[in-house]
Structure 1
């Protein structure tokens, strides 16, 4: 399984973004790290190894970009500026990074996957850009960023908070996206997933709410989920 380290300069962010890529061809799968995780987290935690079979056979090519959560959601700055920095990251993805991997693979769309708070990164991007995303895999994902705003709210908050903007969303590609919300009975994000599933259900957006057994919000659960979800592609 070929592993490639690159640094992608982003004009929107004004600095390089570190990326690990696994495989040489296949459907592009972008995996976002957890809260303050880095681009190498999926590798170090065994997530890439868990889907080695699919990568080696060219079914998927995996891209692991670094996050900027430490400079946005977790930075000691005003919530308005947290949102602005996140939007810069979204523009990096939508206007710089994703067009490049769409071009390289020739598919025209990508799959996004996020773990824990990375589930917010994956779902927010997918739901904001449904014309770019065909599959969304949320592993114990989060869907509400109000706790980072401390009462502050504006249009940027609305359009980057899936629990708020999705009830009003009407892009036709949302109904074609393959969506999996993975959680478990002992998952600290169980309630959030149940509530977000209800939002999708009220809009008749097809999705699979996968509630597993008595497994905690941790890597053993996600290592079980990821190969299953990738196999569905």
Structure 2
């Protein structure tokens, strides 16, 4: 398996950032770690090994990025400063990393993916820059910024709150037609510690329905809690279907 480790300077974050790419070709998945996680977590947890055959065959490629949650959503202190970290992180992803990947992997489908906080980041990138992605795959996400900063609100808190963005999207917004061409898959369990994620997922589904955006939204039983065993089972179930769609050149319309 081809594995590329990259450490490069980000002009938005004014520091060196790390990521890993697993695979040489195929359906590319921009993978965000769980809360406070690192770029190597999916490898350490066994996700890369789970799909190693497809990766080695050039059918699948994981791009695993780092997080700055400890300085933004998980931090304490001034909400505006924390939001600025998140905003700069967003621009690092969409203005530095994704353009680089688009240049080096021009023929690849690109989906954003994540579990828990990773799902938040994936959906945020999709909500704000659907032109950069072919789809989004989210598990057990919280999708509104108010969960982390409570009553504080400004332009950045709205921009970085995908649930609010979809709930308040105008019917004449230029992105609406674009959202309708993309593949959206969202899943959440109904077991332990999924309460807030379940609420957000339900509200997100309602917003999609109201806007006429087709999305596959799934609710798993109470046996599926907010934890890795549930996510791995969900990934193992849904990812082969997404890969099959991509390989057939399908888009959800």
Q: TM > 0.5 between the two? A: yes
- Separation (CA, whole Å) in 2 of partners of 1:145 and 1:3: 34
Map 1:54-133 → 2, pairs under 5 A: 54-107=54-107, 110-133=110-133
- Separation (CA, whole Å) in 1 of partners of 2:238 and 2:182: 14
Q: 2:203 aligns with which of 176, 180, 195?
A: 195
**What do you get for the CA RMSD once the two structures are aligned?**
1.5
- Separation (CA, whole Å) in 2 of partners of 1:210 and 1:155: 31
- Separation (CA, whole Å) in 2 of partners of 1:77 and 1:162: 23
Local SS of the residue matching 1:35: coil
Residues 123-143 of structure 1: CA distance to partner in whole angstroms, max 9, x if unpaired? 001110000011100011110
Say which structure is richer in strand.
Answer: 1
Map 1:1-233 → 2, pairs under 5 A: 1-107=1-107, 110-169=110-169, 170=173, 171=175, 172-186=177-191, 188=194, 189-213=197-221, 214-231=223-240, 232-233=242-243
User: What TM-score do you get using the length of structure 1 for normalisation?
Assistant: 0.94
Local SS of the residue matching 1:80: helix
Local SS of the residue matching 2:76: coil
- Preserved CA contact (<8 Å) 1:17 1:66: yes
**Total equivalences in the alignment:** 233
Local SS of the residue matching 1:215: coil
- Preserved CA contact (<8 Å) 1:28 1:101: no
- Preserved CA contact (<8 Å) 2:26 2:60: yes
Local SS of the residue matching 1:100: helix
Deviates more, 1:110-119 or 1:191-200: 191-200
- Separation (CA, whole Å) in 2 of partners of 1:32 and 1:105: 19
- Preserved CA contact (<8 Å) 1:102 1:109: no
Moved over 4 A (4+): none
User: What TM-score do you get using the length of structure 2 for normalisation?
Assistant: 0.87
- Preserved CA contact (<8 Å) 2:166 2:204: no
- Preserved CA contact (<8 Å) 1:50 1:223: no
Residues 109-150 of structure 1: CA distance to partner in whole angstroms, max 9, x if unpaired? 621001111110000011100000111000111101202223
- Separation (CA, whole Å) in 2 of partners of 1:129 and 1:108: 17
Q: Which runs of 5+ in 1 are unaligned?
A: none
Local SS of the residue matching 2:85: helix
Distance 1:107 1:167, change over 3 A: farther
